[in-house]
Structure formats: C-alpha cells, structure tokens
Structure 1
Amino acid sequence: MRPARPHRAAEAAVAVLLLALGTACGSRLPESDFEHDDRTGTPARSSGAPIPVGIVTSATSPVGGNTFTGPRDGAKAYFDRLNARGGIDGRPVEVHECDDGGSGVGDNTCVRKLIDEDKVVALVATTALDYAGASRVSDARVPDIGGQPIGAAYDTWPHLYGIYGSLAPRNGTPGWDGKLYGGTEVYRYFKREQGARTAAVVSYNQASSAAYARLVEQGLKAEGYKVVTEQVDFALPNFRAAAADLKEQGADLVFDAIDTHGNAQLCKAMDEVGAKVIAKVTNVQNWTSTVPEDYKDAPRCRNALWATGSSRNFDDTDNAAVREFRDATKGLKTHSQWQLEGWAAAMWFTDAARSCAGEGVTRACVDGYMNRSENYTADGLLVPVVFQRLPEPPKTRRTCLSVARWRDGRGWVSQGDMNATCFDVPQLGYEP
C-alpha cells in the first residue's frame, strides 16, 4: 500500500517490463530479530567527517542498461548540490554506489558491502530488480529511504521506507497475510474527468504480462468500464490486429501489460489503423523526456500519451522545487520522473540527518525520523507520504494522483493540481 496514493495495480506496470523475471524479497526473519532495540546505531563521526550513504541500483540487468538508473542519478545530483553548499552541518555526504547486476546474488553482495564494509548510515533511492538483500538491510536496522517498490520488499520489512509510503504491518510477510492492496484512482480519474467508458488492456501471452493485465481488468470493471482485452504473441506480436480490434470496439482508453518497445509498436499500429483514443495510459517508469525518440513513428498516439504517478511532473518548471531539480540535472542527456523521485529520496535522507544534529547522524536516529514521517512532501515534489502499520487493509481510501499528458513541442503538460486530484476509491487485493 501507499499513503495518500496506495500501491495501486496501475503503478505495478514496471513488473511487466521484467516479464518472466521474478523478484525476491529475501527469507523471512524470526520475529525475535525485530524485538531488540539498539539505540546506539552507527557511531557518530567527528565534526566534518563524511556521512556515508549507499545507493543500490540494477544499473546492468537482464532488462537492459539505464532502465533503473534514474533514481540513482537524481539522488547523486541532489547530494552533489548539497555538498557544494556545505553538506549537512559542515559534513559532506559520501555516496557509495553499487550495481547489483539485476540479480539476487549481486544484490546480497551489494548490501553486505555497503552495510559491513562501507558502514553506511542509510541506503537511498534503491532501485533493484531483485531486492534479495532486503531482509539483511532490515535485520541490520539500516534505514532504506525512498526506494522504488519494484517488488514487495517495501511492504514487507521494517526499516524500509519506499518513496510512496506503506500502510502494511511490515512484519516479514508481504502486505496483509501475503496480499497487497491497490486503489482504482487512475481508472476513476479517466472516467470522471475525461469521460472514458470503454478501456482496452493489451498484454502478451506470457504469465507475468497476463497476470498484470488481469489486475488492470479487475480495477477497470470495479469502476464500471466496458473492458476489451487484447492478447498478442510474445515472440511474434501482431499489434496491428490488436489495434484494429480495439478501434472496432470503440476503446476510449488503452492500458498495457507490455514493455516499452512493445508500446512503441502498438502505438505505431494504432496510428496505421486510425485508432483514436482519449488516452494511451502509461506509468511513472515511462514518464521520460525520450518520448519523441521512443514513439517517433506514431505522432497521433504519441500525443495521446498520458502518465500518472504520485510526484510532481518533472516538466512543471513553473514550480520552484522542480526548477531546482532541473537546474541541478541540466547536464544529463535525458530527464525522467524517476530522476525526480531519486532527488526527493536524497532530500528525505537529508532532512532526517539534519534532525539528528543533537545526538549525531546514526542509523537509529535517521530511522526514528523516518518511522515518524507523516505527510512528507519533499518540498512539494511528492503527494504527501505516510507510514503506518494497519492491522487490516482499508476497504476504501482517499487517494491523490499526479497526471500529465504529452504534447509535442511542450513536453509533459500537467493536468491539474496533484494534491487536489483525489478520489475515494475501493482497495482491491492481489498477490505480489
């Protein structure tokens, strides 16, 4: 679950990118491992000494280079600017990076090195394909701040604080007795604000893709949509046939359970058959500045792309916090929403560390700040984030979302205020 916007199925589309690849959360620890309370934490360093933090990223992975590097790049940009301005009470932040290669073995190796050898105070902006070391991070009571919830780890273990928050007990079991819950706010938005009534869901004939498509279909039906399902062959996809059928069925919206390349091919096919929709909906992981290149062969569909998330549009440069992010990252070749969320994660750690001025920047102090976090916004870059441990999942919840649509020549254009685009929606259960 996520706070003001719980972990919804529509944001889980990153799992589709991985296709047959699974994610692991590590083995469950005995309950006794969570009962001790070592308030000493990492020893405070002398004045002026660097504050070590770790960033674990699947920079190289089976799904391709640069797929997961956005949060890392955003966090590093924040720390570079912070250090240029004097660091935290005169102490620079020393970033220790580790590429886990997208494997569970590599992730455990990274976690062991950062915790035991580099003695990091916290992990920041973790973006791991297989976060197998999550249980070790939790057992060491190292706060993991602002990580991307690609798997279920951030709804499973204490001391892990995902970028979108959590309402789950986090006692070593995912969610509530193995089930996660997500809201239908994305579908409610397009129905209420854009007048959509018929939605197509396109997937591969592959287990992970088909499973995600069923989740999307479940949410759409809960919101009263007529749902058109289109499944294409994973090895030899016929996107043109799928596009022709969704046109024939009169689809207003198109959701997908396919990868980025497949999306570009689907959009091209939609243009070729003349399929016009209110929105071709994507997610935060594909909310990037590379749209013109990715969808170069589909101008009509490209300009029907919409993205939803829970952070302020990185192209919204009228906002002062976004302008600072963009100024600090102007040297990057591309920009993305994940970079902005990595920047917000680094800001979150910094705020936590500054709160520790009296007792020293220790793991325990930073973790205490994170555990008390309520309605954190990273200077307005995030929909308010909270962490609670509810014994039962809520049946309904008021959730807010950030919405943007692509416009050639303008980039991603925000659609309303993300803190006012809110809906009371049901929470639907699913197994991660």
Structure 2
Amino acid sequence: MSRTGRAAVVGRRPAAAALALLLLLTAACGSRLPESAFGSGGSAPDLATDTGVTAQEIRVGIITSLTSPVGGETFAGPHFGALAFFRALADRGGLHGRTVRLLTCDDGGSGLGNRDCVHRLVDQEKVFALVAGSVLDYAGAPYVDAHQVPDVGGQPIGTAYDRWPHLFSIYGSASPRDGRTVGWDGVLYQSTEIYRFFKERLGARSAAVVSYNQADSARYARQLEEGLRAEGYRVLSLSVDLALPGFQTVAAALKADGTELLFDAMDSRGNAALCQALDAAGVRLSAKVTNVQNWSEAVRTDYRDSPNCRNNLWATSESRNYEDTGHPSVAEFRAGMARYYPEREDQLSAWELEGWAAARWLTDAMDSCGTALTRACVERFMNRTEPYDAHGLLVPTDFTPQPRPTGPTLACLNAARWQDGAFGGRGGWVTQVPDLASACYDVPQLPYRP
C-alpha cells in the first residue's frame, strides 16, 4: 500500500496483511458491541443535518474482525486506537456541542458477518459514517458505497478501497475509484521503495522470499520477488508446506546462499517458527523484513525464543513509529491509550496508531463542516487535493485520481528496527529514518491484477 511523496498514491504494496490471504473464513458472529456515548458539553446545534446526526449526537460505526479465524488481536489495533481517540474527544467536550456515539460490530471475519454488520450499522443504527475498519472480508463494501456512507481510514486488506468512491483507506488512493472496476481497469500497481531503501541503507543485493504452498501466499510471494528483481536483487524463492512447514530446510538454504534480506508471505506464527529455525542454524541476516501489521509489542513475546532473529527484525510503514513520543501527536496517542486502555500496553501496534489517525481524519473532516454537518461536506474534505497527514502521524496523502502510471513515481516510507537494548533496556522499535519525508525515492510502478 505504497504512497507517493507528492501525496497522490499511484503504487500500492500488494496484500500487506498476508494473514488475510492464507486462512479460511469462519461463520460470523455479527454481534454489535455496545459503547457508551462519547462526548458532551457545549451548546448543541439547532438542527439534525444528515443521517446519523441529531441536535445532540453523531453516530459513527466501526466494523472489526475481532473474532476472525486468524486470531482476536490480528485486526483489533485500529478498533482500539479509534475508540481511544473518540474517548479523548469526549473529554474535550465533543464536536461543536454534539456527542460522538460509537457503535461497534464484530463481523467474525466472514463475508456474511460483514454484510450483517453493515446492515446493522447502516440500516438499523443509521450511522453517519464508518471509521477505522479492519476486516478480513469487506463483503458489505458495495452496500456502504451505494448508501453514500463515508468510510474513513480503513485498512485495505482486499481491494474494496481501490474501487468504491465513498471508501477512503488510511493510505489514500490515486486510482479512479469509480465503482466499476478495481484500480485502472482491474490493474493495480506496486512500487519498490522498500527494496530501494534496504539496498541504499544496508547495501543489500541478495534477498529470499519464503511462502507457503498455498495459492494466495504464492501469489503474494511472486509480487515480492518481482519488486526485488526490479531493484536488481538476486532472489532466492523458497516454499514450505502449509500444514507441516520444514523451516530447518529453509534455514539451511538461507545459510548456504548467504542471503542478506528475508521477506515472507506467511502468518505471524510461521514467522516466529522460522526465526527459531534461523537462530538454531546460526543464520545471520542483514534484515528480516516484516510489514506494518507486525509492527507491534507482540514481537517481544512472539520471538522470545529467537533473540538474534528478533534483533534483525525491520518493519516499514507509511505512519509514524508509536515509540516516537517526542512527536506531539504520538505523545497524545500514547497518553490516550494509557488513560483509556491501560491493559493494552503490551499490545501497542502501528495499526493501533493508524486507528487513532483514522479517527482524527474523520473528526477533522466533520469539524470542517461546523454545525452544518453533512456527509457531502465530509467527503469534500476527504476528496480535497491538499495532502493530509493526521497531524504528522501519516505520510501526507490524498484521494486525487491520477492517470495510469507510466513511469517512476516518488514514494516515501518509514522504517524501524527492533532492538532489545533500546529504551533503557526495555527494548522496542527504534526509528531508522529522520522523518516521514526523508526516505523518499523515485521508483518503478509494477502492474499486477489482484
């Protein structure tokens, strides 16, 4: 989900949430998790101005695959980040005198459950907007779009945010999003800034990609390999059995090859097992590269049996490191999480920060309308050409449609490395670039069909 530095996305890293590609769906619970009304105070506006807006409140929905087949924490981060933001907003008195009332729904990680959540929130609860969605199968997206419900800051696991005009992913988009086809007539583009970054930063020239012998995993791996080769890497492709992965064989192959960088198309459990095999075999990498979904405190426990591999873990994203508390917006996020969800201290993640940023984005869009809050006004804010950065939390981005890519495009990223000795010995993710606008590269745009 690559973003261009000029803010109009052209490239898009394919399938950042590799877990979503690898596992079967289960039946949905479709249950709505009630939240108390957030926000109060101030003088209430005189009129109900749109669906989900009354003189006293704004109803906003969040759909999350909290009980998905890939585990309860996999998609939970954006959910809690957004809830924390709106609770903080409540403590500041709400928005122009209105309460922001959060209505949440767990879709169980299935398309059927997602449609049920969409109908509950859109038809029954009459929400004004959706925010910070993180779901395994966004089957209800066409219904959301048909009812012109703004969906702001969702995690683009599939292709819905590259198709429907009323859906706005956390990473922006430059594709037409006309509702007819995904991307440009069914074609999306991945950019290669991640591979360029490691080539220039670490001098790496060789890489390996490990995948399961499963169709979606193999497809994602091929896209990784294509991007690496476009940047001039020598690439070793390795596949393991999904049911009985032989990671010892992989470790031996990597050691014999002298591989510098390791990428994968596997789930977190597979990655942890692979790292154990790498440590046991004495494999030394320049970097074990993971994605934003795995940029989390869970690394502390998931990789406890493979400390050497853990200290070679790098993650990339288009959002700021949640450890960078010297930045005021990160400090605000951390204070909000500590106040409202202190029990989640050991589950902090980049996705949690991005959920907070999504809530900030929707709130800034609603705030731009004053008391005359309407969906059309919110979407004018979302569709403006001025890049948005969530008060410094995101690489600046927008939703301005661009022509089909024909050449290199400027793309930026953030990167961090796990270090056990950092932060006074506590350990954590240490940012590896000076700022969000400092690691930017003119890189190729590689077409692919999702």
- Shorter-chain TM-score above 0.5: yes
Residue 257 of structure 1 is aligned with which of 265, 268, 273? 265
Shift of residue 21 of structure 1? 4.0
1:82, 1:304 → 2: CA distance? 38
Single out whichever of 108-117 and 206-215 deviates more from structure 2. 108-117
Shift of residue 320 of structure 1? 1.2
Change (3 A) 1:300 1:17: farther
1:203, 1:354 → 2: CA distance? 45
Residue 439 of structure 2 is aligned with which of 404, 421, 424? 421
Tell me if 1:238 matches 2:246. Answer: yes
Residue 107 of structure 1 is aligned with which of 114, 120, 124? 114
Q: What residue number does 2:54 align with?
A: 45
Shift of residue 233 of structure 1? 1.1
CA RMSD of aligned residues (A): 1.7
Q: What residue number does 2:46 align with?
A: none
Residue 307 of structure 1 is aligned with which of 289, 306, 315? 315
Matching residue's letter, 2:309: C
Q: What residue number does 2:82 align with?
A: 75
2:14, 2:376 → 1: CA distance? 31
1:346, 1:147 → 2: CA distance? 10
CA contact (8 A) 1:255 1:281 kept: yes
Partner-residue secondary structure (3-state), 2:118: helix
Give the gaps of 5 or more residues in structure 1: 24-39
Aligned counterparts, 1:281-292, within 5 A:
281-292=289-300
Q: What residue number does 2:359 align with?
A: 346
Q: What residue number does 1:431 align with?
A: 449
Q: What residue number does 1:401 align with?
A: 413
Q: What residue number does 1:175 align with?
A: 183
Q: What residue number does 1:95 align with?
A: 102
Tell me if 1:12 matches 2:15. Answer: yes
Partner-residue secondary structure (3-state), 1:182: strand
Change (3 A) 1:226 1:181: same
Matching residue's letter, 1:395: G
Matching residue's letter, 2:400: Q
Residue 279 of structure 1 is aligned with which of 287, 294, 313? 287
Change (3 A) 1:350 1:178: same
Change (3 A) 1:138 1:64: same
1:347, 1:394 → 2: CA distance? 34
2:184, 2:417 → 1: CA distance? 34
CA contact (8 A) 1:8 1:183 kept: yes
Alignment length, in residue pairs?
A: 413
Partner-residue secondary structure (3-state), 1:56: strand
Partner-residue secondary structure (3-state), 1:89: coil
Matching residue's letter, 1:251: T
Q: What residue number does 2:37 align with?
A: none
Give the gaps of 5 or more residues in structure 2: 27-48, 421-425
Partner-residue secondary structure (3-state), 1:413: strand
Change (3 A) 1:291 1:44: closer
CA contact (8 A) 2:3 2:11 kept: no
2:266, 2:10 → 1: CA distance? 19
CA contact (8 A) 1:50 1:92 kept: yes
Partner-residue secondary structure (3-state), 2:202: coil
Matching residue's letter, 2:176: P
Deviations 1:104-147 (A, max 9, x none): 11111111111122111110001111101111111111110000
Partner-residue secondary structure (3-state), 2:114: helix
Residue 120 of structure 1 is aligned with which of 127, 132, 148? 127
Shift of residue 394 of structure 1? 4.4
Change (3 A) 1:43 1:118: closer
Q: What residue number does 1:196 align with?
A: 204
Matching residue's letter, 2:368: S
CA contact (8 A) 2:413 2:440 kept: yes
CA contact (8 A) 1:11 1:284 kept: no
CA contact (8 A) 2:382 2:398 kept: no
Q: What residue number does 1:411 align with?
A: 428
Change (3 A) 1:373 1:99: farther
2:285, 2:418 → 1: CA distance? 14
2:407, 2:19 → 1: CA distance? 26
Q: What residue number does 1:385 align with?
A: 397
2:53, 2:254 → 1: CA distance? 60
Q: What residue number does 1:214 align with?
A: 222
CA contact (8 A) 2:152 2:167 kept: yes
CA contact (8 A) 1:54 1:114 kept: yes
Change (3 A) 1:11 1:83: farther
CA contact (8 A) 1:123 1:143 kept: yes
Q: What residue number does 1:367 align with?
A: 379
CA contact (8 A) 1:9 1:216 kept: no
Partner-residue secondary structure (3-state), 1:158: coil
